[in-house]
Structure 1
């Protein structure tokens, strides 16, 4: 039995779970999923990974509930550590158990596409068409339709950048970078490394931290191409692995992968404890500090280029909010998510919105001023990091891209742990990614 048919079987079993859980109650809803009784109080279960301390969900939900009598929204963070990958594991467990949910938040297109393929999400195409809007005109970081349908609305606008400890920069006599390359990043990492801390930290997510140079490209920057074929032979993938190995195992200026795994390190902890001076990340970190409050000023630099003279490019995306296929209140869920991705996210004041009609300068100032320590954010460098780059091409990734990255990551770890050389690693990556493609096409 091929992996493709196993996937279809699992989707079928998931559907059976959901049908059993529904117990025929879908008959009490209209085609759009709106409750028949206007007197019935509707509770929308909104699952995500962002705790109340950071998300401030209670206030923004209270505002919506006050404006929409009869609607209640239950904020349900599924994890305590604000780690979205742990959240997706919990989400899948909930789905397989047939637990009720109405709204689902996604942090990246790969995990989003995987749940679209699994049949977990309801298309929102009919809702946006009824409203008469074009997602890609209303929101900055829109996305291509998947098999003719859209499955969520963009919420926050997230741009890749590098956050730096300004105190460490000052002590090393280094300026905040405004136009730099990955070679410059490596030099900074060496100069920032001391007996007390590393110059750099790269986390365990191989679809970001092991392909740094790949995602600095304007297009074709994923492990798979838009047509679902392999991109594993891209020279920038090899160059990215050489860069990471150089930082961690040769220069010893970035936390070694062995320590990251053995000590179960977290990027927030490493940066805010001042154990690492630089972390490539994205603009959600303007406020998403978790339980930490910076004791230093955070500087920001644009996403590094592959070489001097290249156009400044950075992946831009953001969280997507979707409707669960099993939701019995789909219209009410759409109404809330539409409000949350426009007026609501501005009211929330936590993230820069994807909504084009928002005042972005004002929104950014609101976001920073609403943080636990506004003075910790170096505003000049932040604005430059966000405005000096252009977005790389956005595609709807093939649904099996997560599987491809898992195969990629398994070989990368052997390389970073010193168990095989780069030539063997690249050969194995090519074969394992191609095997995923072959099993799904």
Structure 2
């Protein structure tokens, strides 16, 4: 936690510096004034040399990005793109922000959360895409795109469908006589976990990042604050979620205790793909590993179920997902027009090879058949295709994109970790969350 807070502080410092630097630009997008107007050639084209762009993203190049870049470069000798990989964690995002602040070559970059995109916009690093009038983001990507608007504008294009799901060992389910759910609750998942548990092993696993998705599915709709403006982190379902996960850790022993997961740096995807743990709460990026039989050999079929709901009817449920991979153009880039041409091509289907890593194109004009072929490769027989199609394409459950401020997410995590580690009661944990959230709200009126 100390390391995480350090990086958060460093990122904040870098962004504040950028905000001050951005004030010297002209216009609200933080442009340096040297970028061409939309439709004009980039200054470097006058030399006869190709425009050179650098795109920064968090996916390993061999998992799709390099194939995308190679295809573009072959078709567009006048605009050549280089892919630069950064790890999507605190340190990696700091590396990206620092590169932009210090004038290193960054023309396009991928934001993986709306909070990252918002901070970069405020610091003058993300160009306002309303300057380009030849691409309708709402029409191309649908209504879910609006969750990525910042102050009513787009500072990037959300390019992927980002379904979250519970991956299931279909062979283990069949042996236990359990069906693949299409609608279920966390209480029902708990019962599945108990029936699938074998010996001292675990039967359900997840990264720590989606721990809070069950309560965010509720609070994203009902509000993180009450009508009087005070914290809503004492919502009844917050306690329900805390106690549900805690009992699975300590009483049922079906999911790893938080302390064990943190100290061991448990490789949850490997635990699932090795067949040790039959249920995994994750997103579509799992396919990047599950298609890789060299590093993750497996002899079982994978099925897919929606992420469970805490309570209420299915009609009221909103799940995490929607659109993702929000690609922005650096407002300080001298090659914005060229970057825009690449971004449109990428969003409308050029990104199809990214599906091999579970990143399905969101644009209505993308070739979904090509994306599905890339997604499955030659491994289609190792998946339960009916359930895969349901969670990827057919589910009509509304989605949300987590937009809670990073500071509040940190506050929550610091307090609920105390509960799961056994140093705080559930009531004291909730009280501390509320107190600290209220203090944050007062400071940020």
Q: What is the TM-score when the length of structure 1 is the normalising length?
A: 0.84
Q: CA deviation at 1:439?
A: 1.9
Q: More deviation in 295-304 or 273-282?
A: 273-282
Question: What's the counterpart of residue 362 of structure 2?
Answer: 354
Match of 1:384 among 382, 390, 402: 390
User: Alpha carbons of 1:84 and 1:163: their partners in 2 closer, same or farther (altered >3 Å)?
Assistant: farther
Q: CA deviation at 1:281?
A: 1.7
| Secondary structure, aligned partner of 1:65 | helix
1:44 aligns with 2:53: yes
Kept in 2, the 8 Å contact 1:218–1:392? The answer is no
User: Alpha carbons of 1:168 and 1:138: their partners in 2 closer, same or farther (altered >3 Å)?
Assistant: same
Q: CA deviation at 1:218?
A: 8.9
CA distance in structure 2 between the aligned counterparts of 1:179 and 1:15, rounded to whole angstroms? 46
CA distance in structure 1 between the aligned counterparts of 2:286 and 2:338, rounded to whole angstroms? 31
Q: CA deviation at 1:36?
A: 2.2
CA distance in structure 1 between the aligned counterparts of 2:33 and 2:136, rounded to whole angstroms? 31
User: Alpha carbons of 1:187 and 1:410: their partners in 2 closer, same or farther (altered >3 Å)?
Assistant: same
Question: What's the counterpart of residue 108 of structure 1?
Answer: 113
Kept in 1, the 8 Å contact 2:207–2:282? The answer is no
1:159 aligns with 2:167: no
CA distance in structure 2 between the aligned counterparts of 1:76 and 1:263, rounded to whole angstroms? 30
| Secondary structure, aligned partner of 1:253 | coil
Kept in 2, the 8 Å contact 1:154–1:318? The answer is yes
CA distance in structure 2 between the aligned counterparts of 1:279 and 1:366, rounded to whole angstroms? 24
Match of 1:121 among 114, 119, 126: 126
Q: More deviation in 92-101 or 382-391?
A: 92-101
Kept in 2, the 8 Å contact 1:216–1:303? The answer is no
Kept in 2, the 8 Å contact 1:139–1:354? The answer is yes
Question: What's the counterpart of residue 300 of structure 1?
Answer: 304
Q: More deviation in 102-111 or 10-19?
A: 10-19
1:327 aligns with 2:329: no
Kept in 2, the 8 Å contact 1:232–1:430? The answer is yes
Kept in 2, the 8 Å contact 1:101–1:327? The answer is yes
Q: CA deviation at 1:336?
A: 0.8
Match of 1:134 among 128, 132, 136: 136
1:186 aligns with 2:190: yes
| Secondary structure, aligned partner of 1:164 | strand
User: Alpha carbons of 1:269 and 1:218: their partners in 2 closer, same or farther (altered >3 Å)?
Assistant: same
Q: Gapped runs of 5+ residues in structure 2? A: 1-9, 25-30
User: Alpha carbons of 1:87 and 1:190: their partners in 2 closer, same or farther (altered >3 Å)?
Assistant: farther
Q: CA deviation at 1:235?
A: 2.2
User: Alpha carbons of 1:147 and 1:388: their partners in 2 closer, same or farther (altered >3 Å)?
Assistant: closer
Question: What's the counterpart of residue 414 of structure 1?
Answer: 418
Question: What's the counterpart of residue 14 of structure 1?
Answer: 18
CA distance in structure 2 between the aligned counterparts of 1:190 and 1:94, rounded to whole angstroms? 48
CA distance in structure 2 between the aligned counterparts of 1:228 and 1:73, rounded to whole angstroms? 47
Question: What's the counterpart of residue 91 of structure 1?
Answer: 96
CA distance in structure 2 between the aligned counterparts of 1:282 and 1:204, rounded to whole angstroms? 13
Deviations 1:296-335 (A, max 9, x none): 2111001212346422542222211111233221111121
Question: What's the counterpart of residue 4 of structure 2?
Answer: none
Q: CA deviation at 1:173?
A: 2.7
Q: CA deviation at 1:376?
A: 2.2
1:172 aligns with 2:172: no
Residues matched between the structures, number: 417
Q: CA deviation at 1:67?
A: 2.4
Kept in 2, the 8 Å contact 1:104–1:321? The answer is yes
CA distance in structure 2 between the aligned counterparts of 1:90 and 1:288, rounded to whole angstroms? 25
Match of 2:71 among 63, 66, 80: 63
RMSD, aligned α-carbons: 3.2
CA distance in structure 2 between the aligned counterparts of 1:8 and 1:257, rounded to whole angstroms? 28
User: Alpha carbons of 1:346 and 1:276: their partners in 2 closer, same or farther (altered >3 Å)?
Assistant: same
Kept in 1, the 8 Å contact 2:35–2:332? The answer is no
Q: CA deviation at 1:342?
A: 0.8
Kept in 1, the 8 Å contact 2:319–2:400? The answer is no
Question: What's the counterpart of residue 269 of structure 2?
Answer: 268
Kept in 2, the 8 Å contact 1:197–1:277? The answer is no
CA distance in structure 2 between the aligned counterparts of 1:192 and 1:382, rounded to whole angstroms? 21
Question: What's the counterpart of residue 404 of structure 1?
Answer: 408
Q: Gapped runs of 5+ residues in structure 1? A: 1-5
User: Alpha carbons of 1:363 and 1:100: their partners in 2 closer, same or farther (altered >3 Å)?
Assistant: same
Question: What's the counterpart of residue 288 of structure 2?
Answer: 287
CA distance in structure 2 between the aligned counterparts of 1:237 and 1:408, rounded to whole angstroms? 11
Q: CA deviation at 1:249?
A: 1.9
1:74 aligns with 2:82: yes
